[in-house]
Amino acid sequence: HRSWAEPFKIKMVELLKTTTIEERQRAIAEAGYNTFLLRSEDVYIDLLTDSGVSAMSDRQWAGMMLGDESYAGSANFYHLEATVRECYSYAHMVPTHQGRAAEHILSKLLIKPGDYVPGNMYFTTTRLHQELAGGTFVDVIVDEAHDPQSELPFKGNVDIAKLDALVERVDAKNIPYVSLATCVNMAGGQPVSMANLRELRDWCTRHKVLLVHDMTRVAENAWFIKQREVGYADKSVAAIVHEICALTDAATMSAKKDALVNIGGFLAMNDPDLYRRACDMIVVYEGLHTYGGLAGRDMEAMAIGIRESIDDNHIRARIGQVEYLGAKLQAAGVPIVRPVGGHAVFLDARRILPHVAQELLPAQALAAALYVDSGVRAMERGVVSAGRDAKTGQNYYPKLELVRLTIPRRVYTQAHMDVVAESVIEVTEQAASIRGLRFVYEPEQLRFFLGRFEPV
């Protein structure tokens, strides 16, 4: 067994500024104890998100110089369209400025007031756009996904029995589609198995319900199928990605994750009539159907990034880095979501801060404490992110009260991971000194982005 390293070498760097603990204490207070409100210059290792923060390759940067900035019919659009067709199987696609724009359009196109949209655990923007279109999200993920210590290899799977119960209750004509995310973000980046996907495909066909794929991290999901599912060890990630997509009818994509670009997304589908309707709506909200809110250069970089993202060596290194950090924390006894996900290591704030009731926002407090300790920026994925029930106004209290250490693609080295692990272990050991938080300002929607807090 020989060691292996990343399949790239570094050609350009951005120098980082270091800060003192006093500067960080001041910065987090000014940011209202919300890591989203910190200046990036005050952040040392930025694990807030994997969205839009990956390093592009020299080929992608070269592609930026090939931007055909024609208003209509850009050559980059046709390159992107052909790439989506070939790599992801979808017959048609419309570019959007990013993922939530695709969710906005799709929700408006397919959901009528009073509809129900079942999905494998909620995602914040996905659920919000379903609700804004008059739909109600229904969680149909397997129960194990809500247990941070369950070692189930495919915790992203849909529990078909939950779908059967829903269709009994509300009838299939009120279910426009099943919303299936691969590598479920809020569950801890947990994959869906191909077997479950095939079952879901049959269910949707039988009940005449569309199967819509949130394919934001589909390449990472493919890697877990290759590693964990019988019959896939010898298949390429590219082939598994194609097989996953081909089982679905349409997709929303935030290209800011797996597809290695800083901005961009798309809505894809097979049905020509849905494509026509999407084009008619895209010109209202995003731009002409051949640019959808993106410059030509962005579409070129995305087409190139898509191909790089489904390369086995790329994905092996990407997932390997997340696993490296997860293993270090696990070995030190830090409570994390198991199995380690594809894009992040999720700290179990409930177990790290048992003395902080969920009403006092433990994950928010832990993320702030981690930043003060080392300048590592993480993201709250607990009760603050879960928000309030749209109908009752009551807080959701999710079983998963997590802090997400999200690893950008091709950005940080193993030494950075060691620094992160050291800080997380230190903060976990000092956890008793961490106090809860309360809202000072609570936005109406997606409150975690701009909410401000103070220690109680």
Ligand X SMILES: CC1=C(O)/C(=C\N=C(/Cc2ccc(O)c(F)c2)C(=O)O)C(COP(=O)(O)O)=CN1
185 binds ligand X (CB under 6 A): yes
The phi and psi torsions of 144 (rounded to 5 degrees) equal -60, -25
With binding defined as CB under 6 A, does residue 51 bind ligand X?
yes
Site size toward ligand X (CB under 6 A) is 19
- Judged by beta carbon, residue 54 or residue 196, the one nearer ligand X is 54
Judged by CB under 6 A, the chain residues 337 through 366 that form the site for ligand X are none
Binding status of residue 214 toward ligand X by CB under 6 A: yes
**220 binding ligand X? (CB under 6 A):** no
Closest approach of ligand X to the CB of residue 206, in Å: 27
Q: Any bridge partners for residue 346, and if so which? A: 404
Site for ligand X contains 181 (CB under 6 A) = yes
Lookup: tokens for 178: 């099943």
Q: Which is nearer to ligand X, 184 or 356 (CB)?
A: 184
Instruction: Tell whether residue 256 is a contact of ligand X (CB under 6 A).
Output: yes
Here's the x/- map for ligand X, 21-50, by CB under 6 A: it reads as ----------------------------x-
Question: In whole angstroms, how close is the CB of 80 to ligand X at the nearest point?
Answer: 16
Q: Give the nearest residue (CB) to ligand X.
A: 99
Question: Please, which residue, 44 or 122, has the CB nearer to ligand X?
Answer: 122
Which of 47/353 has CB closer to ligand X?
47
Which residues are known catalytic residues?
Answer: 71, 123-124, 214, 257, 381, 448
CB 347, CB 405: distance < 8 Å:
yes
Give 190 or 216: the residue with its C-beta nearer to ligand X. 216
Contacting residue, 221, 254, 262, 358, with ligand X by CB under 6 A:
254
- CB 287, min distance to ligand X, A: 16
CA distances from 43 to 140, 196, 407 (A): 37, 40, 14
Please, what is the Cα angle at 157 between 227 and 137, to 5 degrees?
145
Tokens 């007031």 belong to 113
Closest distance of CB 349 from ligand X, Å = 16
Instruction: Say if CB 84 and CB 306 are below 8 A apart.
Output: yes
CB 274 within 8 A of CB 252: no
CA distances from 176 to 51, 89, 116, 121, 226 (A): 28, 22, 7, 17, 31
d(CA 267, CA 265): 7
CB atoms within 10 A of CB 113: 8
Q: How far is the CB of 427 from ligand X (least distance, A)?
A: 21
Check if the beta carbon of residue 306 is closer than 8 Å to that of residue 259.
yes
Residues from 87 through 146 that contact ligand X (CB under 6 A): 98-100, 123-126
DSSP string, 320-361: HHHHHHHHHHHHTT--B-SS--SSEEEEEHHHH-TTS-GGG-
Which CB sits closer to ligand X, 254 or 321? Answer: 254
Q: Which residues of 20-52 are buried (b: 16+ CB within 10 A; e: fewer)?
A: eeeebeebbeebbbbbbebeeebbbbbbbbbbb
x/- mask, ligand X, residues 258-277, rule CB under 6 A, reads -------x------------
Residues found near ligand X in the complex (CB under 6 A): 49, 51, 98-100, 123-126, 181, 185, 214, 216, 254, 256, 265, 379, 385, 448
